[in-house]
Amino acid sequence: MIVGTVIILCLMRALGKLPLGFHYAFGRFFSWVMKDVLRYRRDVVMTNISRSFPDKKYKELSEIADEFYRHFGRIIAETVWFGGCRNPKRLRQRRIVEYSNIDVFEKAYSQSPGVMVMTSHFGNWELLGGCLNYDYRPEGKLPEGLVPDDLIFVYKPLKSRMWDEIMGSNRCAPVRRLDYKGYISTENILRHVLENKDRKLVVNMLSDQCPYRDSLANLDVRFLNQETKTMFGGASLARKLGWSVLYASLYPMGKGHYEWRFSEICPDASEVSAQEIMDEYYKLLQKDIEAVPWCYLWSHKRWKR
Q: Is the pLDDT of residue 196 over 80?
A: yes
- Inter-CA distances, 37 with 24, 26, 256, 296, Å: 19, 15, 25, 22
Per DSSP bridges, beta strands 226-230 and 219-223 are antiparallel
Distance CA 292, CA 94 (A): 23
Q: Is the pLDDT of residue 44 over 70?
A: yes
Q: Which helix (H) or strand (E) holds 277?
A: helix 274-291
Whole-number pLDDT of residue 178: 56
Q: Are 65 and 50 contacting, i.e. CB atoms less than 8 angstroms apart?
A: no
Distance CA 171, CA 251 (A): 18
Name the pLDDT band for 1 (thresholds 50, 70, 90).
low
Whole-number pLDDT of residue 179: 67
Distance CA 75, CA 73 (A): 5
Q: Are 250 and 295 contacting, i.e. CB atoms less than 8 angstroms apart?
A: no
Written as one string, the DSSP assignment of 85-124 is: --SHHHHHHHT-EEES-HHHHHHHHHHSS-EEEEE-SBS-
Q: Which helix (H) or strand (E) holds 195?
A: helix 189-195
Closest CA to 108 of 263, 241, 254: 263
How high is the mean pLDDT of the chain? 90
User: For the residues 248-273, what does the mean pLDDT come to?
Assistant: 96
Distance CA 146, CA 155 (A): 20
Closest CA to 233 of 195, 198, 201, 206: 206
Q: Give me the half-sphere count of Cα atoms (radius 13 Å) on the Cβ side of residue 201.
A: 27
Which DSSP category does 199 fall into? S
Answering whether pTM is above 0.85, one says yes
Lowest mean pLDDT of 85-94, 133-142, 253-262, 293-302, name the range. Answer: 133-142
Q: Are 293 and 50 contacting, i.e. CB atoms less than 8 angstroms apart?
A: no
Q: Is the pLDDT of residue 140 over 90?
A: no
Q: Is the pLDDT of residue 185 over 70?
A: yes
Distance CA 39, CA 41 (A): 6
What single-letter amino acid sits at 213? R
Q: Are 253 and 97 contacting, i.e. CB atoms less than 8 angstroms apart?
A: no
The dihedral through the CA atoms of 285, 288, 293, 296 has a sign that is negative
